Chains A and B, each alone.
Chain A
Amino acid sequence: MFDMHHINLAIGPARFRVASCWREPLDQLENLYQYYPQITDEYVDFTVRLEPEKPWRRYLRPSVHISGDYWLPDAAPLPLDQGLLAAEMGMNLQMALGWRRHLLLHASSVEKDGRALLMTGLSGSGKSTLSALLAENGWRFMGDEFALLDPETGLVHSFPRLISLKNEAIAAMHKIVPEERFGPFIKNTPKGDIQHIQPPRDAVKKMAVTAKPAMLLFPRFGYESALRDMGKSEIFIRLTQASTNYVALGEPGFRSLTKFVDQVPVKAMDYPTGERALALIDELWDQLP
């Protein structure tokens, strides 16, 4: 049995103990999360484990099995050079399966003037990249994977993890974000090439500040600019599909999601480029009461 190294991370309202047989992924995490609040007392909400797929895979073609307090039975292992991705996926898994203090929506979120813009959609819709772009254009980054909705107050809580960029978005963001904020370039992952960026320091400093949800977008990248209304039933269904813990929250989940759908204006937004998206978003934001 190999002993494991570990680091502790505090991100938004959650604290993680990330344990790993290999030091490298933890060194990368420590570097990228260095501006986040330090945990000195070792109290955490979850433990993530990065372990060898089989004992001999500790050294030979090292293969990382992602596990932790919460786990999936058929999680595919990743090669060690994708260890940082494994750690981030491990944290996602703990949140998705174990977090119940907020309703989790699979959406990115940014804030301006105390109000939050949420963007949700399937992989490839561009919600992560858009949130990274907005974060460099006057908005405060709150998260790119999970939006946290407080069932009692209806407010959005910030959960600013590393922003995950895929394939073409990577080159695009290299043009606007300084090099030192990038993590390692990770090739050939199940989702293509991936590179992480640190959220802006300001976003990290303000991670305890909440925001009132003011708009929800369903973005779709690679189409002529267009804005469409959506029926509330469709929105509700899509959001329950986009939430990992809607059922687990029971009645409070139902009440908070129906309130959200009643009160927050929604648009489907098709966009051809990041710049056009920013322009569309500014227009919509200005039209809010």
Chain B
Amino acid sequence: MSQYYCAADPNGLIQHELDSMTLIFQKSSGITHMVADPVPAILEVMREDIVRPEDIVRRLTDQFDLQDEGDSEAIVLARLTELCALGLVEQV
């Protein structure tokens, strides 16, 4: 049974790209995170909605033309778990 997730308010984040990595400054925590693809894309498609991993995969496929090789949901779930530990995503 899939869990629901919600991303931090995009207005509370400042993103900055640096070669292959993206910096994310979260204003509420004052913490600077450095993340790699597909994390910025995941946050972007989540917007301010409450979504499940499979919803995210679908949005990524639509918006970024993601080629789903069957393990996309597992990858997204792994990233979401990391993002929860960082405080950039919350399980609801």
* Chains A and B touch each other in the complex, with CB atoms below 8 Å apart: yes
Identify the A interface with B (CB < 8 A): 231-233, 236-237, 240, 246-247, 250-251, 254-255, 258, 261
CA A240 – CA B14 in complex, angstroms?
Answer: 17
- Which residues of B are found within 8 Å of A237, using beta-carbon distances? 34
With A254-B14, A254-B25 as contacts: A232 and B32 at CB distance below 8 Å: no
* CB atoms of A251 and B27 under 8 A apart: yes
CA A254 – CA B23 in complex, angstroms?
Answer: 9
**Residue B18 at the A interface, CB < 8 A?**
yes
Per DSSP, chain A at the interface is helix
* CB atoms of A251 and B25 under 8 A apart: yes
CA A258 – CA B17 in complex, angstroms?
Answer: 9
CA A246 – CA B18 in complex, angstroms?
Answer: 18
* CB atoms of A232 and B18 under 8 A apart: yes
* CB atoms of A233 and B20 under 8 A apart: yes
Residue total for B at the interface (Cβ-Cβ under 8 A)? 12
CB-contacts of B11-42 with A (<8 A): 14, 16, 18-21, 23, 25, 27, 30, 32, 34
* CB atoms of B19 and A247 under 8 A apart: no
* A89 shortest CB reach to chain B, Å: 28
CA A250 – CA B16 in complex, angstroms?
Answer: 15
A-B contact sample (18 more), CB < 8 A, given A233-B19, A236-B23, A251-B30? A231-B20, A232-B18, A232-B19, A233-B18, A233-B21, A233-B34, A236-B34, A240-B32, A247-B30, A250-B27, A250-B30, A254-B16, A254-B23, A254-B25, A254-B32, A258-B16, A258-B18, A261-B18
